[in-house]
Amino acid sequence: MNEGSLNKDQQDQLLFMMLIQQHQQIGMMGLGKLKNPATDAIERDLASAKYAIDTLSVLEKYTEGNLPKELKGFLDQTLTTLRLNYADEASQKDDSSSEAAPAESSEE
């Protein structure tokens, strides 16, 4: 199906889905789950991932009650996946932080 055969509403839904996918990719790159196509390397940047998640969260907030079921489901699933991956990556960062080491190794 090409864009020319879609009606205006279908085109808008496709564009909305592409917007979600773009932020999903930004988030997954920031989480170190996808290669950065510009550098062809895995680059972990949790701040970038958080920005993508926050952006999609605002999008979810401002479109509440206005999305077709399929788009709402896609947005919800994308946010859930990103949030779970972010929590996992952030906990790994916390586990390996230098702050945890002294507390575990201190003796009294």
* Amino acid at the residue 52: A
Residue 95: what pLDDT? 64
Q: Where are the domains of the chain?
A: 11-89
Global confidence as pTM: 0.80
Residue spans of beta strands (DSSP E) within the chain: 31-36, 41-44
89-95 average pLDDT score = 82
On whether the CB atoms of residues 18 and 10 are closer than 8 A, the answer is no
Residue 2: what pLDDT? 63
74-97 average pLDDT score = 89
Contacts of 37 (CB under 8 A, 6+ apart): none
67-83 average pLDDT score = 97
Band (5; pLDDT cuts 50, 70, 90): confident
Q: What is the pLDDT of residues 57-70, one digit of tens each?
A: 999 999 999 999 99
Residue 105: what pLDDT? 35
Q: What is the pLDDT of residues 36-54, one digit of tens each?
A: 999 999 999 999 999 999 9
Give me the half-sphere count of Cα atoms (radius 13 Å) on the Cβ side of residue 62: 6
Q: How far is CA 23 from CA 12, 69, 96, in A?
A: 17, 20, 27
